[in-house]
Amino acid sequence: MRLFIYCSDPREEADLETKISQQLLVPNEKIMRLANCGYPMVLAHPICFRDGAGWLLSQIDFMINNFHPEQAIFVGHDCGWYETVPSLAETSLFEKKRDIANIHKMLLRRHPYQAFVSLFDVSQQGGQVQFEHFAA
């Protein structure tokens, strides 16, 4: 079983739940989900999001240690959660992608045996759903 960690922004252009289901899952695949606004980017800014980052890390550790997912997949997007912190409000798309790569590296150090995959939603509005593989 695979673990997906992604932002729960429900707006149509951001709806990762639907995009993941349509593009990344095989039919009838059962997955584990960690979805909340700003996930997984809170891990890239643990000082700004101390509570959220700590909570998400504890959830990831629990799922990996107890359920042994064959992959943990971090799905980033042009996340509006950055705008909730004034010092991060001007974060560029390039920097958001870099954050996903940094999360990947950090979690690889924490769980060196685990297969992590990092993806970034690069869908064009009204167009084809696409994910860019974005790893360290």
Quick one: tokens of 16? 């990762």
Site string for Zn ion, 84-123 (x = CB under 5 A): ----------------------------------------
6 vs 116 by CB, closer to Zn ion: 6
Rounded Cα distance, 84 and 105, in Å: 25
Quickly tell me which residue has 């709806």 as its tokens.
Answer: 15
Quickly tell me which residue has 């890390």 as its tokens.
Answer: 57
Nearest distance from C-beta of residue 57 to Zn ion, angstroms:
18
Q: How far is CA 37 from the centre of its chain?
A: 10
Our finding on whether 7 is near Zn ion (CB under 5 A) is: yes
9 vs 15 by CB, closer to Zn ion: 9
Nearest distance from C-beta of residue 100 to Zn ion, angstroms:
12
3-class state of residue 86 by DSSP: helix
The distance in angstroms from the start CA to the end CA of the chain is 23
User: Among residues 6, 9, 49, 131, which is the contact residue for Zn ion, using CB under 5 A?
Assistant: 9
Angle CA 16–19–23, to nearest 5: 140
Stretch that binds Zn ion, among 26-34, 57-65, 79-87, 123-131 (CB under 5 A): 79-87
3-class state of residue 80 by DSSP: helix
Our finding on whether 79 is near Zn ion (CB under 5 A) is: yes
Rounded Cα distance, 96 and 89, in Å: 11
Nearest distance from C-beta of residue 121 to Zn ion, angstroms:
9
60 vs 100 by CB, closer to Zn ion: 100
Binding site for Zn ion (CB under 5 A): 7, 9, 79
